[in-house]
Structure 1
Amino acid sequence: MSFYEYYNKYKNFNYEKFFNSISDDDIKRILAKDKINEEEFLALLSPKAEQYLENMAQKAHRLALQNNGKAIEMFTPLYLANYCVNKCAYCGFNCENRIKRNKLNMDEIEEEAKAISNMGFRNILILTGESAKATPVSYIVDAVKVLKKYFQCISIEIYPLTQEEYNRVVEAGVDGLTVYQEVYDEQIYDKVHIAGPKKNYKFRLDAPERGCISRMRNVNIGALLGLNEWRREGFATGLHAKYLQDKYPDVDMNVSPPRIRPHAGVFEDVYPVNDKNIVQYVLALRLLIPRIGITISTRESAEFRDNLIPLGVTKMSAESSTEVGGHTVKNESDPQFDTADKRSLDEVLNSILTKGYEPIFKNWMHI
């Protein structure tokens, strides 16, 4: 059974009725359990559970220490190109947005790699806009060959690939995959993805599983919070992560809780999501899947990121730029979105150490 079939049983689920049925005793009972099921996970996302965030935080903290210790894996993004063929209402790379487009050649990629490597990073996430014509798989493979000289861990966040293509990039040296479904509600998905190959909901939904089949070491998923009511999207993301973790136990599953940031273009149909909401979401995820990895990017403010560390964060970015070649090539393209945490790497590291955690630049490599 595919995740689409699994998730479809909640297609007509009455979330409001369910949330209204949750009592204080329900939350207390759930928090006393060693293992929770999917409906109990949804209960922890309910308005009623907001009153128990401290209890949830204490348990999530214990589980995070048991399963992940006090290590925070560090990475930075490297944008290779921003050409895109999709018309997505919420994205700065929207093909109809009049932004400066750019694509790095292999020499420029090596220049970026040297600059990032000299900062100490050994874990990198490479990104492109979604254009198989501008950045074909062959281009990604060639870029990975360059990057392998400088980094032990290379993850990709590009357009969804076929099974054969994922096998190809894994063979080239890619060991991590990030694919955000953006929004799990199929009707909203169709509405905000106006045109382009990204409009294919099922092909994107199945991409993380294709990555697992290709033996990616880690797979990162998430919904872009703000495109739909956050509780529903958080629930769908948790279900997706658990489905993949249970089916592919050798893969390290990660979830990111990104929310919409300012970007080129205008998109005003945003559902509210605040810091407290994200905290509740992160805590509930940890209680559903105790070993889950949780990534917090520089979309979030410095203060908020620091406060999330003890709650189970396992991976953080630093020195982030969403411009193509943003570490060495300045003002040659427009960013995908604005970052909120603009601290230097040293400042981020000091904050992590102050919290009693250890920043890790390398924790795995090919043998």
Structure 2
Amino acid sequence: MEQKKENHFFIDSQKLSAKALEKKHRLENDPSCRKDPMAYFPDMEQIHSDVRARVIAAMNAYQPETYTAIDVRRALDHERVTIEDVKALLSPAAKPFLEEMAARAQRETSRHFGNTVYLFTPLYIANYCENYCVYCGFNCYNDIQRLQLSHDEIAHEMKVIADSGMEEILILTGESKTKSNVEYIGDACKLARQYFKNVGLEVYPMNVADYKYLHECGADYVTVFQETYDLKKYETLHLFGHKRVFPYRFEAQERALMGGMRGVGFSALLGLSDFRRDALATALHVYYLQRKYPQAEFSLSCPRLRPIINNEKINPLDVGERELCQILCAYRLFLPYVGITVSSRESASFRNGIAKICATKISAGVSTGIGDHEEKYTGKHEDKTGDEQFEICDTRSIQNMYGDMEQEGLQPVLNDYLYV
């Protein structure tokens, strides 16, 4: 019998400095750590939407173990996969059908996306964070090297990346409104527009007006990880800061669309809670918003937990590569027009294979640290860098990734947008 793995979320206190330990103790005893996760901070905009209630109700009612092979067979026989069908496809009963699911997912992907796969690079411009999320390397008390890039340093990093041939960039920060305010992020977007054709953001959730401003600065799309849709688990993992407020984070994508963003991305971090329920909630989050905002572009990603500085024991609870493949195939069958991103958290072999089945976008030339792209791309040592958010698995350069995708029979695409 396979032994069930355990997650080890908390930072190893023996690896923290005295200053970090003092900060950890102070934060754990701060009243904000006991804040109601459903209560908004005063600066948080509240919108009137029924999407969250529908998604959470469906997730709470979902019992994956009750589905049978008959339910899976019925789902695969349907021309269009329904909500009830995707519940069956995400269940344990679907495991023996994985090859059939993959074959059908491949046909759906080919029908709507051809044999193309889009390439992009993430750029972390700051790793300061004001949240205490126990599984994240950037969390506010973890004893790491912090850094915020200046305007000139951001421009330099972007030029290095653009010179490699990349045309799409995803700008990321830690979740600190003090160190990475909206104007700072907006400045980065303006710079990115000088170097890249497509600009994405993965930063802290914002109000509609902030998203509108960033869109005017050049941002095309916004990605937000809900992390887990299980409120009880969410509360135990997010102990301090604005990120503790569950509904504000849930509604971030809708506020981004209200602010004019062209597209939005969604994800649960698989391994934090019951991955089947989180996968269903993520799919339904997209499904309901897709019908509410049919003009927008939607994308999904499926990241799993990775080790972080001061905790190498973190692992994705019960989520192996077969389970990950099952989720991605179920997503493709349920949401045939949605983009699917597979990150460098996964191995090169897995990403090569899944790109031929259902993934439409993969990262290349990745670093989750701050200010080290020149060293990574050219070998020139950087004097000042910031520590990484998590360990990556696939370290291929843009050139190697491009060549590997061609060898897999795919057409790598750097950009397909025209601005007139």
Q: How many positions carry a matched residue from both structures?
A: 364
Query: C-alpha displacement at 1:303, in angstroms?
Result: 0.6
Query: C-alpha displacement at 1:269, in angstroms?
Result: 8.4
1:3 to 40, 48, 51: 51
Query: C-alpha displacement at 1:10, in angstroms?
Result: 2.9
Are 1:349 and 2:402 counterparts?
Answer: yes
Are 1:282 and 2:359 counterparts?
Answer: no
Show the counterpart of 2:190: 145
Show the counterpart of 1:154: 199
Could you tell me how far apart the structure 2 residues matched to 1:24 and 1:146 are?
Answer: 53
2:319 to 257, 273, 295: 273
1:286-301 mapped onto 2 (5 Å cutoff): 286-301=332-347
Could you tell me how far apart the structure 1 residues matched to 2:94 and 2:192 are?
Answer: 45
Query: C-alpha displacement at 1:201, in angstroms?
Result: 0.4
Could you tell me how far apart the structure 2 residues matched to 1:11 and 1:317 are?
Answer: 30
Show the counterpart of 1:304: 350
1:132 to 177, 182, 191: 177
Show the counterpart of 2:84: 39
1:315 to 326, 350, 361: 361
Could you tell me how far apart the structure 1 residues matched to 2:352 and 2:141 are?
Answer: 36
Query: C-alpha displacement at 1:185, in angstroms?
Result: 0.3
Query: C-alpha displacement at 1:215, in angstroms?
Result: 2.6
Aligned AA (1:327): H
Show the counterpart of 1:89: 134
CA separation of 1:351/1:135 partners in 2, compared to 1, >3 Å: closer, same or farther? same
1:18-167 mapped onto 2 (5 Å cutoff): 19-20=65-66, 22-167=67-212
Are 1:192 and 2:245 counterparts?
Answer: no
Aligned AA (2:328): V
Aligned AA (1:188): K
Could you tell me how far apart the structure 1 residues matched to 2:267 and 2:97 are?
Answer: 24
- Structure 1 stretches (4+) deviating beyond 4 angstroms? 267-270
CA separation of 1:306/1:12 partners in 2, compared to 1, >3 Å: closer, same or farther? closer
1:340 to 390, 393, 398: 393
2:370/2:386 contact within 8 Å kept: yes
Show the counterpart of 1:181: 226
The structure with the largest alpha-carbon Rg is 2
Aligned AA (2:309): A
Instruction: Describe the SS at the equivalent of 1:313.
Output: coil
Segments of structure 1 that go 5 or more residues without pairing to the other structure are: none
Show the counterpart of 2:377: none
CA separation of 1:11/1:302 partners in 2, compared to 1, >3 Å: closer, same or farther? closer
Could you tell me how far apart the structure 1 residues matched to 2:50 and 2:109 are?
Answer: 29
Aligned AA (1:10): A
Greater alpha carbon shift after TM alignment, 24-33 vs 316-325: 24-33
Segments of structure 2 that go 5 or more residues without pairing to the other structure are: 1-48, 375-381
Aligned AA (2:334): L
Query: C-alpha displacement at 1:9, in angstroms?
Result: 2.0
1:261/1:339 contact within 8 Å kept: yes
Query: C-alpha displacement at 1:23, in angstroms?
Result: 2.7
1:215/1:251 contact within 8 Å kept: no
Instruction: Describe the SS at the equivalent of 2:279.
Output: helix
TM-score normalised per structure 1:
0.96
CA offset digits 1:290-345 (Å, max 9, x no partner): 11100011111101100101111110100100011220346621100111001222
Show the counterpart of 1:358: 411
Could you tell me how far apart the structure 1 residues matched to 2:307 and 2:116 are?
Answer: 31
Query: C-alpha displacement at 1:265, in angstroms?
Result: 3.4
Q: What is the CA RMSD across the aligned residues, in angstroms?
A: 1.5
Instruction: Describe the SS at the equivalent of 1:80.
Output: strand
1:253/1:292 contact within 8 Å kept: yes
Query: C-alpha displacement at 1:216, in angstroms?
Result: 1.7
CA offset digits 1:272-304 (Å, max 9, x no partner): 210000100000001101111000111111011
Greater alpha carbon shift after TM alignment, 260-269 vs 218-227: 260-269
Instruction: Describe the SS at the equivalent of 1:148.
Output: helix
CA separation of 1:151/1:195 partners in 2, compared to 1, >3 Å: closer, same or farther? same
Could you tell me how far apart the structure 1 residues matched to 2:96 and 2:243 are?
Answer: 39
CA offset digits 1:187-238 (Å, max 9, x no partner): 1111100101100100000001111222322211100011012111111111
Could you tell me how far apart the structure 2 residues matched to 1:364 and 1:189 are?
Answer: 37
Instruction: Describe the SS at the equivalent of 1:305.
Output: helix
Query: C-alpha displacement at 1:366, in angstroms?
Result: 3.3
Instruction: Describe the SS at the equivalent of 1:215.
Output: coil
Query: C-alpha displacement at 1:241, in angstroms?
Result: 1.1
1:228/1:270 contact within 8 Å kept: no
Percent of paired sites with the same residue: 38
Query: C-alpha displacement at 1:12, in angstroms?
Result: 4.0
Aligned AA (1:91): C
Could you tell me how far apart the structure 2 residues matched to 1:49 and 1:154 are?
Answer: 37
Instruction: Describe the SS at the equivalent of 1:124.
Output: strand
CA offset digits 1:1-32 (Å, max 9, x no partner): 4221112323642515xx33x23232222111
